[in-house]
Structure formats: structure tokens, C-alpha cells
Structure 1
Amino acid sequence: MKKVLNFIESQTVEFKQIWKDEYLKTICAFANSEGGSLYIGLDDDAVVLGIENIEELIEILPNKINNRLGLIVKIFHKIQENKHYLQIKIEKTYTPISYNGKFYIRSGSNTIELNGGNLTNFLLNKSGKTWDDIVEEKFTLEEIDLNTIEKFKNLSRDRVPNIQNENNLEQLLRKLNLYEGNYLKRAAILLFAKNPQQYYIQSHSKIGRFLSETDIQSSDIIEGNLIDQVDKIMDVLRLKYLKAYISYEGMHRREKLEYPYEALREAVINALVHRDYTNTSNLQIKVFDDKLVMYNGATLSSEVPIEKFDKPHQSKPFNPIMANIFYKCGFIENWGRGTTSIINECLDYGLPKATFEYEWTAVVTTFYKKQIVIEKTGGITGGITGGITGGITELENFIIKNENLSAIALSEKLEIPLRTTQRWIKELKDKNKIEYRGSKKTGGYFAK
């Protein structure tokens, strides 16, 4: 009977049947990650096969690993039912380790090579830096947008009361930890520059209305620094891309967007603050008939995987300097609770909860509209989410999404009696929520 060890390959464990020098990259990956053990003489199922030249390996491997990787490892001679195998134990290092000029880390039970932005972020983290903490020597104080500075001072007066009294621009930015020596940091460019896209072209945002995944109807590009982008994005969404339901409470006119404003704003802020700006993509907001989707290039912390986004979790901002300034100006209320706040806002609004996915190095946040369900026995009921009930409200929502339909067409499509449809239409017209446009033969109802 084959002897199987009681553990499996994982983030910190790897099995190899024989030694090959190419496995030095596995040792390199363990050192660059959380450490681990490489076992020689086992198959992939942890069956002990044994190795014949174990004494030779015990003698040569320590020097080979030290010479090629600069690592001191521990090697243990193991025996299981007269079969000999090795455990090479590697400790986590706090300086980056390379093998043949390349850098590797562990991802689950795999060893992967780092490239591009991932390599940049890895090297920064190993040096105790984050991307937004690096200086940009070409950027000068004259490129700071003073209007944005004043806006920040007004927004932050509750959390940083004395900031309004600081009239020296350089001293203010130093207090915000945006200087290192005589140079401003990348965070200062993204937060306060007149034209941050001059330095980081990918820092703009895009909004588009889509008829399908590939058919775009209109689009807008939002530029400027991140503090201004928050308001610009929300204004464009509210005024151009999202429909609003109008109601009246006495003499007061109420406007209610089809998605909760605060949840959308929280999602936009999260995207701008947590973006991986080494990623060449920009923040993209796609508005469909039945959903709104945000794509944001990001590198997730292993401590906060995407599966934890719908639960309370610790805050691990990818750009901590920028996150701290967003907190000071009141854009971030509770660190680590942004995603759960988005979900709760949607549920309170009578909508399905927003979802979070990680695809192709991007966090995908999706907001869903309430879907209408038609009952054959008569009338319109609330959607699958148990949102707003009442036939007249659902008729209004249906007209918003399906304009230029006559009363007869609405009655047929919703499978409700024509008289009921006409009565509800009259109520909506009396409340100034819909209007009839066009001729009697070809016209139809539109939301106002």
C-alpha cells in the first residue's frame, strides 16, 4: 500500500518527484510570498516515492540555493517506510528575490512570474512603499489646482479643523504627507493637479450608454484630478445617463434616481481610490437598460479577496495616502465598509444587491434594476426583489423603459385589462408624470 502524507499542495507546499534546477524558481516564489516547503521525492498526490541520491542532494543543494538565490534554507532528511525524501523549508524574505533576473510569487498552489504593473507593485511593497507614495520629480507646486485645494479645505473642515487656517500651499501639502524631501508624490498629482492626465493618461474615467455589450449609443470622458472627478462623474450620470422618478410631497418636488445616489457615489469613490494606476485601463462605467456596471483596474490584497466584499472586512487601501485624504475630506465614511454600504443602500432602495467580481485584473461592480413580473390573474406585482408595489407605479416604470406605446399596446404587453390601463394612465397624467406625444394613430406615452 502506497504511503500518502496527510497534506496537499497549497500556497505554502509543493511536491516534486526528483530535483531539477528549474525548481529554484519555486523556492524563489516561496521566499517572495509567505514562505513554504518544497518536498523532493513525492508525487502530486503526496505519495512518497523516495529518491536515490539523497546524500548528494543534501550536500549540494544548500550551496546551490545560496549561490543562485542568496537564500539560506533548512533541509530535512525524511524517511517514510524505508523511503527517503527531502523537505526544503524556505522562510519569507523582506527583500525581493530573483531567479535568473526574474521574480516569482506563489498564487494558490501555482508559481507565477511577475511582469508589468504586478512586478512594480511587488517591488514597491517589498521596499515598504505604495504606488501613490513615490515622488514625481518633474511635478511642481505651480501645477497644483488652487481651486481644488480650497474645495478640499472646505470639505475637510470637520475632520481637520485647523486646515482652513493653513494658507501656505507647500506647508499644507506637507501636512498631508504629499511631500518627500523637496519633491511632491504621485498622490498629489492625482488628487490636486490641474492636469493629472499629463502624467498619468490612464487616470481619466469613461461613461457610456450601451444597447448591448458591443453596441454603444453615447459616451463621455471625465478628466481632471480625482477630487473633482467624483462630482463630475456623478453629475454626468445624474443629468445624462440615469432616469429619475419625479414625485411630490405637498409642494415639494422629489427626484429619485433609478439607482441609489449614495451607493453609486460610494462605488465611484472606491474605484478612484483603490485603482491600480499602473494598470493602463481607466475607470469605465457602462449603463445598460437593466443594469449599471463599473470596471476598475485593481490589484486585490490577499487579505481581502473579492469573496469578502459583501461582508464587513478590514480596510486595505491600495493607495493609502489618497485614501487618507479622501477620508479627511469626508468622501470615505467608514474604512472597510464601503462595499457593504453599497449593498445595503441597494436593498433599502428595493433593488437587488449589487455584486462584486474580479475579472481580468479588474473589479466589476454591478447594480441591477428591479425586474417587473406579470401575473396572469391580473395586474402588475412588485419585482423579484420585493421592491415598490402597486400597479400604477409599475406602469410608470414600464413606460419609462418602453416609450411611445399606446394604451392598447401597454394593455397587451402587460396583459392587464384595457380599462385598468386607461385608468392608471389618467392618474399618471394627472400627477404630471407622463404625457402623450404624437398623433392619435402613431403616438404614445412618454415619461416626463
Structure 2
Amino acid sequence: MDALLANLHLVEGDYLKRAAILLFHSTPERFVTGAYLKIGRFATDDDLRYQDEVHGPLLDQIEKGLDLLLTKYLVADIRYGGASRTEVFMFPPEALREALLNALAHKDYSSSAPVQISVYDDRLIFWNDGQLPDHWTVENLTHKHPSRPFNPDVANTLFRAGYIESWGRGTIKMINECRRHALPVPRYTFEAGGCTVEFLKYTEAALRQQGLRDELIKIVLSVQTAGTVTNSAVQQLTGVSKSTATRFLNELDRLGILQKSGTTGVGTEYVLKGS
């Protein structure tokens, strides 16, 4: 173990670095307060139904946290293709894995707040204490960017263990996975000293709560399933005229739910915002 820690640059003189404790100690909280993962299932923001905590070294938190999220907190649809049975989750597991890795690798461990995952009927939110590199904005996360880990020693070990690629592609992989599954792209925000990654899936109940009319709800759910929609498709879906369909699409555009894809004109396609 001593040789391994030295090879991973997790020792300094005769002393272990904090990253060594976080990564390999069975109870890192003895030395680093808040070094654990908390998951909660919410009906509304102020209605917590149940929760779990995942303790132990970061390598265990990654595996146990994702397993707990997929087996207890997210309900999978069962589909069959011939004789094969497939479980389809509300959000792509690959994207959730990247979000969990990012939260644990980039958390500010001088804070006593644990990494937190809040699960709702229509969304899932990862939060960790931390901040963007100097002179960066959220926009940097949506396209290719250099790897600037908040905890370099932790990131180096996760790279050596095969968990991350160390190329700053995690946020882009989350975006691409959501696009591939016809979902809104993740929302990245940094405020009050913390980083939030929010995954969203439109549901009839949530859209109705936002005040959307039945026709608009039909359009949004159709785009989420099919990936795109055109004016003529909206006419068929809602039984309205071309001008009314145009008004519906423009309204959803203004609300930040849909956007035009590619060229405009006859046959213009609309997709979910950010897709």
C-alpha cells in the first residue's frame, strides 16, 4: 500500500495527503468532516419522503451511490425486444455516473457539507460545495474545455483507476447522453458556493403545474418522445390550423422549452431547448 500511495503522489514526506484519506480510508469522516454522500427522495422541495447516506472511501461511494440511485430511487420501465428484457431508466445511467464522479471529484472538502442528490418525480439534482476555475463561466462546461480538477490528487487517482478520462469531457458526455435519449440537456449552475447539475424529464403533471395548456403539453411530450416536431405535426397532434400551430411553437420557444433546429422555412423542426 505504501508503494501504491507513493506512486499516486498521495504522500508528502512521512505524511498522507488528505486525498489519500478520502480515497482509501474506511472512515474518511474521522478526518474530513462531510466526506460522504447523501441521497433524498422528495415529493416537493419541502416534502422529503426518505433518504440514505453512503459512507466510506470515495471509491466505494462512487459504486454504492450509483447502485443505490438506480435500484432504489429511480424506477425503470421494462421493455422487451424479442426475447430480451431491457430496463430503461428515466435518465441515462452513463450521465448520472458522470455527474456523481464530478460531484465527488470536484467537491470542496474544506466544507462540512456532503455531496447531495435530490430525486423528484421529474428531475434529479446533484449538488456539491465547490466553485468554477477562475475566469470560467457555466458556458465553458457545455463545449470542449481543458481539465481543471478542483482536487488534482483525487482526480489523478480516479483517472489511474479508469473512472475518468482527465480530459474535461464529463460535462459534454452528460449533455450528449441526454440528447441521445431525447431529454433536455443538463442544467449547470454555480451559486452560493455550490455546483448544481440538474437532469429534467418533462411530465404532464409538472408541465401542468407550470401553467401550460393541454395543447402545449401534448407538443412537449411528443417532442420528448420523438426528438423533433414540425408545424404540420403539431396541426395533426392538436387539430389546429397552421397559424395556430405556429403560435403554439413560438410560445414554447419563448418559454425556453423548444427551439428551432437547423434551417428555417417549410418543414422547420423544433427540438427541446439545448438539444
Contact 1:382–1:389 under 8 Å retained in 2: no
The equivalent of 1:281 in structure 2 is 113
Q: Scaled by the length of structure 2, what TM-score is found?
A: 0.75
Q: Could you report, residue by residue, the CA deviation over 1:328-372 in whole angstroms, capped at 9, with x for unpaired residues?
A: 111112521111111111111111000001121000110001334
Q: How far apart are the structure 1 equivalents of 2:188 and 2:222?
A: 18
Q: Could you report, residue by residue, the CA deviation over 1:285-341 in whole angstroms, capped at 9, with x for unpaired residues?
A: 101111111111003211433232212211110111110111111111252111111
Does the alignment pair 1:246 with 2:78? yes
Does the alignment pair 1:233 with 2:70? no
Q: How do residues 160-179 of structure 1 correspond to structure 2 at under 5 angstroms?
A: 169-179=1-11
Q: Could you report, residue by residue, the CA deviation over 1:21-76 in whole angstroms, capped at 9, with x for unpaired residues?
A: xxxxxxxxxxxxxxxxxxxxxxxxxxxxxxxxxxxxxxxxxxxxxxxxxxxxxxxx
Contact 1:207–1:286 under 8 Å retained in 2: yes
Contact 1:381–1:389 under 8 Å retained in 2: no
- Distance verdict in 2 for CA 1:333–1:384, change over 3 Å: farther
State the aligned residue count: 220
The equivalent of 1:51 in structure 2 is none
Does the alignment pair 1:383 with 2:220? yes
Unaligned runs of 5+ in 1: 1-168, 391-414, 416-448
- Distance verdict in 2 for CA 1:382–1:250, change over 3 Å: farther
Q: How far apart are the structure 2 equivalents of 1:310 and 1:216?
A: 31
Does the alignment pair 1:322 with 2:151? no
Q: Scaled by the length of structure 1, what TM-score is found?
A: 0.47
Q: 2:14 aligns with which of 182, 185, 202?
A: 182
The equivalent of 1:367 in structure 2 is 199
Q: How do residues 369-448 of structure 1 correspond to structure 2 at under 5 angstroms?
A: 369-372=201-204, 383=220, 386-389=223-226
Name the SS for the 1:325 alignment partner: helix
Q: How far apart are the structure 2 equivalents of 1:334 and 1:179?
A: 21
The equivalent of 1:36 in structure 2 is none
Does the alignment pair 1:268 with 2:86? no
Unaligned runs of 5+ in 2: 208-212, 228-237, 239-275
Contact 1:351–1:369 under 8 Å retained in 2: yes
Between the two proteins, what is the percent identity of the paired residues?
40
Q: How far apart are the structure 2 equivalents of 1:230 and 1:218?
A: 20
Contact 2:182–2:226 under 8 Å retained in 1: no
Q: Which moved more, 1:263-272 or 1:242-251?
A: 242-251
Q: Which has the higher contact order (CA 8 A, sep 6+)?
A: 2
The equivalent of 1:213 in structure 2 is 45
RMSD of Structure 2 on Structure 1 (CA)? 2.1
The equivalent of 1:6 in structure 2 is none
